[in-house]
């Protein structure tokens, strides 16, 4: 079989200005295969060096990179270390570059919203305090059934700060697909939207979320983001608007073990029940 030519290859200048190239130079790896070989031979070195290169913020240092005492398949990563991914994703940039653009959201119609790191921190802190008031805390699963809007990122980061487990859900899912995943995750809160705009037309999401929620007795709250200007029914005692989340003083950021869940990402379920894959804080 003949080799397929790459669609694009970086120039020498582009390669040498990349973060990967900088990492290789710092650790005296002349080529990428040499880096891969060294990483495979000495994973403790590689992952320790990489966490430092990426600037991962730890509230308590780890005493080792890997603990394989129970066998390689049961490796414990960064034992003794405590962190929260929110610190590395937002707060370190907020301290060094508060007015830098952190996130850009653009609608299908071309409307653009931007948040600086300072504004993003404010939004996350406010949302986290509001979610905490309705029962979201460490270890609680929260479904995110939202279009690609800034509030989606804010909700994810707020869950991260609280030590909750975010369960992202494709905005095109039907009620049964949502129900399956939220039931398996034992989710207690669902953050959804009135709808999304696709090809210039509003597409309702809240009625689909309601149908799923009706079969989830453990789901105590639905938080609804106004994204598409659609009038939706709100169930008293369960539903509240995103803008009506309680406005309270900031709450502490949870210090998490590296292997504590951050995300629960579900497979497609094409060949069976969807399977939840766990992503930790490190």
Specify the pLDDT at position 275: 93
Provide mean pLDDT across the span 260-280.
92
pLDDT at 3 over 90: no
In this prediction the pTM is: 0.93
Question: What distances in angstroms separate CA 118 from CA 91, 94, 125, 213, one per listed residue?
Answer: 9, 6, 11, 35
Give the dihedral sign, CA 147/153/157/160: positive
Q: Which two tokens stand for residue 254?
A: 């949870």
Is the distance from CB of 226 to CB of 182 less than 8 angstroms? no
Question: What distances in angstroms separate CA 270 from CA 47, 61, 155, 201, 265, one per listed residue?
Answer: 34, 41, 28, 29, 15
How does pLDDT run across 56-99, given as a tens digit for each residue? 999 999 999 999 999 999 999 999 999 999 999 999 999 999 99
How does pLDDT run across 100-128, given as a tens digit for each residue? 999 999 988 899 999 999 999 999 999 99
Domains in the chain: ranges and CATH: 123-280 (3.40.50.980)
- Rounded CA-CA distance 157/164 in Å is 10
């Amino acid at each position: 079989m003949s080799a397929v030519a790459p669609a694009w290859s970086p120039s020498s200048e582009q390669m040498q200005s990349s973060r990967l190239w900088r990492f290789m130079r710092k650790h005296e790896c002349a080529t990428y295969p040499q880096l891969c070989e060294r990483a495979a031979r000495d994973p403790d070195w590689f992952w320790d060096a990489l966490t430092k290169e990426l600037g991962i913020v730890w509230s308590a240092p780890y005493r080792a990179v890997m603990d394989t005492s129970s066998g390689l398949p049961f490796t414990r990563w960064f034992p003794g270390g405590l962190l929260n991914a929110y610190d590395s994703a937002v707060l370190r940039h907020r301290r060094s570059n508060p007015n830098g653009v952190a996130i850009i959201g653009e609608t299908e119609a071309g409307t653009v919203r931007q948040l600086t790191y300072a504004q993003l921190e404010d939004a996350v802190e406010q949302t986290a305090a509001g979610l905490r008031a309705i029962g979201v805390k460490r270890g609680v699963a929260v479904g995110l059934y939202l279009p690609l809007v800034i509030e989606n990122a804010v909700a994810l980061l707020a869950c991260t700060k609280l030590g909750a487990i975010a369960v992202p859900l494709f905005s095109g899912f039907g009620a049964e697909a949502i129900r399956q995943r939220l039931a398996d995750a034992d989710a207690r809160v669902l953050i959804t939207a009135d709808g999304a705009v696709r090809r210039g037309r509003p597409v309702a999401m809240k009625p689909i979320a309601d149908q799923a929620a009706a079969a989830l007795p453990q789901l105590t709250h639905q938080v609804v983001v106004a994204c598409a200007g659609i009038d939706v029914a709100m169930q008293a005692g369960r539903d509240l608007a995103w803008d009506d989340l309680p406005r309270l003083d900031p709450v502490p950021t949870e210090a998490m073990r590296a292997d504590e869940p951050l995300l629960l990402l579900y497979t497609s379920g094409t060949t069976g029940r969807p399977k939840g894959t766990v992503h930790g804080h490190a």
